[in-house]
Amino acid sequence: MPSNKSVSDAPITQFVNCRILREHKLQREDLWVREGKILDPEKLFFDEKGSADQRVDCEGLIIAPGFIDVQINGGYGIDFSQATDDVRGGIALVAKKILEHGVTSFLPTLVTSPPDIYHKVLPEVKVHSGGMEGAGVLGFHLEGPFISLEKKGAHPEQHLRSFLSDGMSDLIETYGTLDNVAMVTLAPELPNSQSVVRELTQRGITVSLGHSVANLSQAEDAVRYGASFITHLFNAMLPFHHRDPGIVGLLTSDQVPQGRTVFYGMIADGIHTNPAALRIAHRAHPTGLVLVTDAIAAMGLPPGRHTLGQQVIEIQGLHAYVAGTKTLCGSIATMDMCVRHFKQASGCRVEEALEAASLHPAQLLGISHAKGILDYGGDAGETQNIQ
């Protein structure tokens, strides 16, 4: 077939002998890519009279959408909550490394920090697409400091804050700017939080509920005002109780507005959540489950002492603790490890495990028209082999 590059002179790559995750199923089809976009082969053949410039034999591997990590604190010695002299370089290093684990987009996450940290770090990095040089940055995830003292976890108590009469003023004073912020984790039981949830949502910023002692009614109110995510379900929140299930109850609440989905993050590293709890959550609300790593600077490094924001942490085996305690403070798991563990622990289909790390976070962030899918016109994903 003659080649006619009337639409674009960029080379076309055809992936053959592969299984493509499309429409919730693994389908044996070829995948055509040009300039980082997935092509419709019918339009390519009949409208452009185009053909492949190169073919890649995938040898039966799965082609899945690139993973999206909405909660990652750092890795490979880089702590996103540290205002170093080269913030951009640090994030770029992590972005490059996590490509190896199938992550093509992420939200650099800052844990509770003093205002000067946010003021220095947030202006340094802009939202940008990914490529061969590294995963794309979809915006920052600010986890704290507007969280509960009782469920602070590894967050430093001295930097926690509450909302005063005008909660947004407190937010701006603390963060300095909301430019390039994609998500904020807060405790919905804090006074004046409802107006903050509403304002953030109106600005297109995802509001997540976490590090909280909220009861179910308070959590449902936050959802009505726009909250749509739960930060690391079961961790740093009240345990499930049959008379008031707390934030966990949102998974089956009948008070979620029609047409809305409450998503929830799960750290499927085999440490933060018992496999039975993972199965309970998945079976209760499978379409809302979003796999996150909650990875810290020690990911990819040997055991020893490292940092997480203002805290010193210690790695013992696969566990990350606040130094001198048994308080968990993030994970050292990579996203591909989490996908595999989730599949094994939950007994779900490969497709479900892959979508929990790609489609669901894309839906949460409102970008599933381009990411988390392999539909025509969508962003080309990375190949990830799941045994």
Q: What angle do CA 367, 353, 213 make, to 5 degrees?
A: 75
Give pLDDT, residue 382: 45
pLDDT given for residue 301 in this prediction: 85
Q: Confirm if 296 and 79 have CB atoms less than 8 A apart.
A: yes
Interior CA angle at 238 toward 218 and 197, to 5°?
A: 35
Q: Which of 125, 116, 140 is nearest to 93 (CA)?
A: 125
| Distance of alpha carbon 123 from alpha carbon 180, whole angstroms | 8
Model pLDDT for residues 92-110, shown as the tens digit of each residue: 999 999 999 999 999 999 9
How is domain 12-63 classified at the architecture level of CATH? Roll (2.30)
Name the β-bridge partners of 56.
Answer: 15
| CATH number corresponding to 67-365 | 3.20.20.140
Position 381 scores a pLDDT of 53
- Residue 383, pLDDT score: 40
3-state secondary structure of 169: helix
145 preceded by cis ω (within 30°)?
yes
Rounded alpha-carbon distances, angstroms, from residue 375 to 100, 261, 311, 382: 23, 22, 43, 14
How does 14-53 read in b/e, with b if 16+ C-beta sit within 10 Å? bbeebbbbbeeebeeebbbbbeeebbebeebeeebebebe
How far is the C-alpha of 108 from the C-alpha of 92, rounded, in Å? 11
Residues in the chain predicted with pLDDT less than 70, given as ranges, are: 1-8, 381-387
- Tell which phi-psi region holds residue 204, choosing left (phi > 0), alpha (psi between -120 and 50) or beta: left
Q: What is the 3-state secondary structure (H, E, C) of 20-80?
A: EEECCEEECCCEEEECCEECCHHHHHHHCCCCCCEEEECCCCEECCCEEEEEECEECCEEC
Residues involved in catalysis:
294
Q: Consult the annotation and say whether 305 binds a ligand.
A: no
Among 318, 283, 290, 288, smallest CA distance to 303 is for 318
Contact present, 51 and 12 (Cβ < 8 Å):
yes
Q: Is 101 annotated as a binding residue?
A: no
Q: Is the pTM of this model over 0.85?
A: yes
Token pair, residue 31, equals: 């995948």
**How far is 34 from 263, CA to CA, in rounded Å?**
32
- Is 330 marked within a binding site? yes
What's the pLDDT score for residue 322?
A: 86
- Who's near 276: CB < 8 A, 6+ residues apart? none
Q: Is 161 annotated as contributing to ligand binding?
A: no
272 is in an annotated binding site: yes
Q: Is 328 annotated as a binding residue?
A: yes
Tell whether 119 is in a known binding site: no
Q: How far apart are CA 184 and CA 170, in angstroms?
A: 13
For position 61, what pLDDT does the model report? 96
Rounded Cα gap, residues 163 and 171, in angstroms: 8
pLDDT the model gives residue 385: 41
Q: Counting beta carbons within 10 angstroms of the beta carbon of residue 356, is it exposed (0 to 12), middle (13 to 18) or buried (19 or more)?
A: buried
Residue-range domain boundaries for the chain: 12-63, 67-365
232 is in an annotated binding site: yes
